[in-house]
Structure 1
Amino acid sequence: MLDKGKALYLKCAGCHGASAEKPALGKSLVIKGWSKEQIVSALEGYKNGTYGAVMKGVMKSQVSSMTKEDIEAVSAYIATF
C-alpha cells in the first residue's frame, strides 16, 4: 500500500512539498504530521464537496478520479511524514 501511496503522492508533492511540509500554494494547512484518518477524511470531503475553503475547487479536481483505495494508499503514505 505504501508503494502505491508514494506513487500517487508524486502528483501532490509539487504543491505540498516532498515531505508534505509546505502549505499548498501558500494557502492550505501543512499536512505533515496528520494521521491517516485525518487525511482520508479531508480527501473524501474534497471529493464530495463537504470539506475545504479556498482550496476546495483545486482539491476537488485533484481527487475526483481517485478511488477509495487510492485515497487510503496516499493517506497512509502521507501519514508516514
Structure 2
Amino acid sequence: MNQSRKKETKRKKKERRRKKKETKRKKKETKRKKKETKRKKKETKKKERQTNKDLKPHLMIGWNFSEVLVPVHLKNI
C-alpha cells in the first residue's frame, strides 16, 4: 500500500511539473506573438507616415510655420 501511494505522489508531481512547463511555454509563445504584432504595427505605421510625408508635405509640420495649413477657426487666435 505504501508503495502504491509513493508511485501515485510521484505521478502527480510529474503531472504538475509537466503542466507548469506547458503553461510557461504558452506564456512565452503569447508574449512572442504580441511582440511580433506590435513590431509589425509599428513598421506599417512608419511606412504610412512616410507615404503621407511624400504625398502631402503641406500637411506635415515643417520647420517653416508658413508651410503648415492652419484651420480657419484657429487663424484668428
Larger Rg: 2
Whether TM exceeds 0.5 here: the answer is: no
Name the one with the larger helix percent. 2
TM-score using structure 2 length: 0.24
Structure with more relative contact order (C-alpha pairs < 8 Å, separation 6 or more) = 1
TM-score using structure 1 length: 0.23
